[in-house]
Amino acid sequence: MSGADNVVWLGAPAFPEAARHALADSRLRANLRRATGTIRDKRLAVAAELDDWEELRETAAAVKRHTLRHLDHYLLRLEEAVTAAGGTVHWAADAAAANRIVTDLVRATGEREVVKVKSMATQEIGLNGALADAGIRAFETDLAELIVQLDDDRPSHILVPAIHRSRSEIREIFLREMGEWGRPAPDTLTDDPRDLAEAARLHLREKFLRAKVAVSGANFAAADTGTVVVVESEGNGRMCLTLPETLITVMGIEKVLPSFADLDVFLQLLPRSSTGERMNPYTSLWTGVTDGDGPGVFHLVLLDNGRTATLADEVGRQALACIRCSACLNVCPVYERTGGHAYGSVYPGPIGAVLTPQLVGVENAASLPFASTLCGACYDACPVKIDIPEVLVHLRAEAVEAKRRRRLLPTTEALAMKAAGAVLSSPRRLAAVQGPAALGARLLSRDGRIGVLPGPFARWSGTRDTPVPPRESMRAWWRRTRTGTRDEGRTATEREERR
Ligand code: SF4
């Protein structure tokens, strides 16, 4: 299995096709609009409470920049600290290595079941599938992940994986599937949130009490103390992190922070940016193992899976600063209309559009850097100030270049761009084509807009509202109204060219 196999969903259509399909689903769009709007408003309100919000963002961005520049140093320090505290550190170059390590560790315990804390890293490597292949059943315990798992679905949001499901759909899933996985939902189940939560609580409790092995991800790990941190809202994580005998944590290497003190900044930013809360209901921290307190065996699997290659890209590496808060998803006009499945990747939304192509190679996710309007809302919302539009533009150039390399003949678009470059770089050539082009555009126009152009330009023009050019160009207007002589109206370059 390559590292790309689970980051992008094999067989999923490219973004434009998947988005068209999603846009036709009015129930999905209503669910998304309601959910993202609610979280967005909560985030704005709690962020506005802090006078030093912008300073916190600046500090977090600086800490992440520094850490990524010295990642090797801090990872070795983390390994040393975790080992000294009684844990064991494993290094996984890719998804296959990480899955092998975790599977072997679970097998060594003799157990055939694990409980899981919500984790993007284990989704990225397809751990549940790898464990199932080895005869080990993984139970998701986060409520939204449970819904997705019971329905054999895929997550569509980083923080709220079942954001595309309404309460009545969740009720149907619980009634239909819970009995297959353990304690069934009561026949009297309603779609009241309290009822649904209670059914999930009873279903999961027997799993928590039975489990001997837990698998988690990690939000942060402090290199100086070896402390690993998981933040969550429901308490399911706390049960997994404290009740079982063995805890296995899979963590992307970019999650390390230099020191425990850095958590002060990130634990203010993360809950406000993700759920719109001042602090997380549950913040679990552990350092190795402690006699008589929590799991007696702790393994930390440090996952690369394309991160080192991403680090080598000076523009793209900023995506590794992501703390998976999902604020960029909730403000993105594209995500709000298409939902997460359209991205065809474990990482949806704006962060997915910049992270996925880097983890799997831009040629394997070439449509994602274009899944954005470049409006910049994601950059404004990001608590660690990742300039997502900058990375998108950078990756678009790479995607175009990769496509160019694969083709023997240039595309129509490349030829059109080359012709446009030649015209726009010469005032004389521009003046020569401006009149005829404007006339042609007016002839093709309807209702003040240029309609669908013929031939190879049909797809481009068919998705845009291009206004008809005015009868008089700016240059002609300037010459007519602002200058006494024809030469005065010309630019220095034009005058030079005329000479
Ligand atoms: S890119 Fe920024 S806003 Fe988006 S999930 Fe990551 S940290 Fe949050």
Top pLDDT among 452 and 93 is at: 93
Q: List pLDDT tens digits, range 408-449.
A: 788 887 888 899 999 999 989 998 888 888 888 888 787 778
Task: Evaluate: CB of 327 within 6 angstroms of ligand 1.
Answer: yes
Would you say residue 498 has pLDDT above 60? Answer: no
Residues near 290 by beta carbon (within 8 Å), at least 6 away in sequence = 86
Q: How far is the CA of 51 from the centre of ligand 1 (A)?
A: 21
Q: List pLDDT tens digits, range 244-267.
A: 999 999 999 999 999 999 999 999
pTM across the whole model? 0.86
Task: Evaluate: CB of 326 within 6 angstroms of ligand 1.
Answer: yes
Q: List pLDDT tens digits, range 276-322.
A: 999 999 999 999 999 999 999 999 999 999 999 999 999 999 999 99
What is the chain's mean pLDDT, rounded? 92
Residue pair 286/86 in contact by the 8 Å Cβ criterion:
no
| pLDDT for residue 115 | 98
> Which of 323, 385, 388, 390 to probe ligand 1 with, by most ligand atoms within 8 A of CB?
323
When pLDDT is cut at 50, 70 and 90, the band that residue 2 belongs to is very low
Mode of pairing for the β-strands spanning 449-450 and 466-467: antiparallel
Residues near 480 by beta carbon (within 8 Å), at least 6 away in sequence = 472
| pLDDT for residue 5 | 58
Top pLDDT among 129 and 456 is at: 129
The total of other beta-carbon atoms located within 10 Å of residue 73's CB is 13
Q: How far is the CA of 283 from the centre of ligand 1 (A)?
A: 19
Average pLDDT over residues 135-143: 97
The total of other beta-carbon atoms located within 10 Å of residue 205's CB is 15
Would you say residue 459 has pLDDT above 90? Answer: no
Measured distance CA(339)–CA(182) in Å, rounded: 30
| pLDDT for residue 495 | 57
- With CA atoms as reference, report the closest residue to 160 among 312, 316, 330: 330
> Which of 384, 385, 387 to probe ligand 1 with, by most ligand atoms within 8 A of CB?
384
Give the burial string for 129-166 (b: 16+ CB within 10 Å, else e). Answer: ebbeeeebebbbbbbbbbbbbbbeebbbbbbbbbbbbb
| pLDDT for residue 1 | 43
